[in-house]
Amino acid sequence: MSDVPMPPDVLAQILSWLPVSSLLRFRSVSKSFRALIDSDYVIKLHVNHSVQTNTNLNLLFGGDRTLCYLSLHESSKAVTKIDNPLYFAIFETVILGSCNGVVCLCTTEPDNEIAFWNPLVRKFKKIRLAPAKCIEGLGRGICIKGFGYDHVNDDHKVVRLVQYCSLYNDIVHSTIEVFSSKTDAWREVRDFPYYLCYRRNFNTFAVGALHWLVSLKPEAKFDFRIAAFDLTTEELCLLPQPDFANEMVRLNLCVLGGCLSMVCNYPRKHVDIWVMKSYGVKDSWTKLISTADVKLIKESDFLRPIVYSRSGEEVLLEKNFERLYWYHLENKTVKRLKVPGMPRLFVTETFTGSLVQVNIGSASGSGTKKEKTEDKNDRKRDDFLSKGFRLVL
C-alpha cells in the first residue's frame, strides 16, 4: 500500500472505529484503500468492534412494504427512507431479524421470498424457499420462521418451524427446517416436540440460538417453557426461566444487549422485564425493569425492550407497534421518542451498520444484467476518483 503511509494492520484498526458512512466515502480515496476496506479482515474487525462497543446501531422500521431507518448514534434527527428489496412481491414484507450486520426480510406464506440484506450498503441476496409440505386433511400447517447466525461456520441461517395439529390440538407432525445461506441448501433437521405459545412474537435470536415460548401440553395455559435451538449444533433444549408470578400474565421473549430477556406483562397492573445475564443459568435471571408507569401499562397489549442507550443508562421500549419510549434505569422515568418521518404503525428491529457483503443485488435494480452494469460503473467511478485523491493522515 504505497499510497498509505502506515502499516495496513494499524490502519485496519483505525478503520474499524469509523461509521459506515465514512468508510463508504473513503473507498474512493485509492484502489489500495478500497481493497483494504473491502477485505474480509476489516469488515469482520469493524462488526466485532461495533458489537463490543455498542456503536453503529440503527433502528429499522417496517410496516407493510415500506422501510426506513434511524441512526441511534449519529447526529441524524430524522428517519431515512430506504428501498425494500421485496417491494414488488405480492405479499407483505416481514422483518425476520438481524445479526452480524445483515438483516433478513421475508414475505408471508405461501410466497416465501427471502432477502439477506445490508441496508447501508444497499446490497442483497434474494432467494425463494419451497412452500411447506401439505398434509392431507391438515393443509400446510403453521409455519414460523426465524433468522440467526452460526458464528462457528460463518453462516446466516433461516429456520422454519412447521407444525401440524389435529382437530383435538394433538401434534400430528412438527419439524424444524434450516436454510443455509452459505450452501444455498434447505433441509429438515429434527422433530419439534413442543406446543407453540404466542405465535405472534417468535423471532428471538440470542447467544447463537433461536428461542420460542412453548408448553408441553396443548391446554397448559400457564405452563410456559423456553425452547432453544442452537444454530451451530442444531440441538434443541429447554432453558430455565425466571421466577415470575404466572397468573394472568402475558409473556414475550426478546433480546437486549445480546442477552435473552423476557417481558412479563400483568395487564393494567405493572410490567417486569427480566434479563438472563449468563446464558442457561437460572440464577442469572435479573429483573432489570419493574414499572407501573401509566404511559407504559395503559392499553398495553405489547411491550418489549429494543436496545440500551450508548451510555447504558436507558432502555428503548416499543409499545403496541406505534410508540417508542426511553426508560431511565436509575431514575425510573419514561420519555417518549418521536422523530420526524416515523411511520404511524411499525415493527422495529435493530441492526449493526456494517460493510458485510451479501452478494449481488441493489434494492433499486431490477435484474442481473442491470446489477452487473451498476457494479461496473461503480468500479469506474471509484477508479476515476482514486486518481485525484491520496490519503493524508
- The 10 Å Cβ neighbour count of residue 186 is 14
Q: Is the pLDDT score of 237 beyond 90?
A: yes
d(CA 277, CA 259): 6
Lowest mean pLDDT of 38-47, 70-79, 120-129, 309-318, name the range.
70-79
pLDDT (0 to 100) of residue 5: 62
pLDDT, tens digit, 9 for 90 and up, residues 8-21: 788 889 999 999 98
Split at pLDDT 50, 70, 90, the class of 212 is very high
Looking at residues 87-116, what average pLDDT do you find? 85
Cis peptide before 110 (omega within 30 of 0): yes
249 with 262: CB under 8 angstroms? no
- Number of other CB atoms surrounding residue 308 within 10 Å: 18
pLDDT (tens digit per residue) in 239-285: 999 998 877 888 899 999 999 999 999 988 899 999 999 999 999 99
- Residue 131 is predicted with a pLDDT of 74
Question: Residue 2: is its pLDDT beyond 60?
Answer: no
Average pLDDT over residues 119-136: 82
Write down the pLDDT at residue 1.
46
Q: For the stretch 89-115, what's the b/e string if a residue is b when 16 or more beta carbons lie within 10 angstroms of its beta carbon?
A: beeebbbbbbbbbbbbbbbebebbbbb
pLDDT at res. 372: 45
Q: What is the predicted pLDDT for the residue at 127?
A: 86
- Give me the torsion for CA of 253, 255, 256, 261, rounded to 10°: 30
270 CB burial (10 A radius; 0-12, 13-18, 19+): middle
Residues 6+ apart with CB under 8 A from 182: 153, 154, 155, 156
Mean pLDDT of 328-356: 92
What residues contact 108, with CB distance under 8 A and at least 6 apart? 91, 92, 94
Q: Which residue has the higher pLDDT, 302 or 391?
A: 302
Q: Is the pLDDT of residue 217 over 90?
A: no
CA distance 84 to 362: 10
Grade residue 234 by pLDDT with cuts at 50, 70 and 90: very high
Cβ within 8 Å of residue 2, ≥6 positions away: 32
Q: Which residue has the higher pLDDT, 391 or 363?
A: 363
- For the chain, domains (ranges, CATH) are 54-359 (2.120.10.80)
% of the chain surpassing 90 pLDDT: 41
How large is the average pLDDT for residues 307-324? 92
Grid coordinates representing 83?
Answer: 428501498
C-alpha–C-alpha distance, residues 227 and 268, integer Å: 28
pLDDT category of residue 7 using cuts at 50, 70 and 90: confident
Identify the pLDDT of residue 51. Answer: 85
State mean pLDDT over 25-40: 88
Q: Residue 154: is its pLDDT beyond 50?
A: yes
Q: How far apart are CA 96 and CA 58, in angstroms?
A: 16
Q: Which of these ranges, 189-203, 315-329, 339-353, has the smallest mean pLDDT? A: 189-203
Task: For residue 314, give the nearest of 325, 300, 304 by alpha carbon.
Answer: 325
Percent of the chain scored above 70 by pLDDT?
84
Whether the CA torsion 245, 250, 253, 257 is positive or negative: it is: negative
Higher-confidence position of 243 and 365: 243
The answer to whether 69 and 59 are in contact (CB under 8 A) is yes
C-alpha 162/C-alpha 357 separation (Å) is 30
Residues forming a β-bridge with 219? none
Gap between the Cα atoms of 313 and 8, Å rounded: 37
Other CB atoms within 10 A of residue 279 CB: 15
Residue type at 215 in one-letter notation: S
Name every residue whose Cβ is closer than 8 Å to that of residue 357 and which is 6 or more positions away in sequence. Answer: 38, 43, 118, 121, 123
The mean per-residue pLDDT over the stretch 348-371 comes to 66
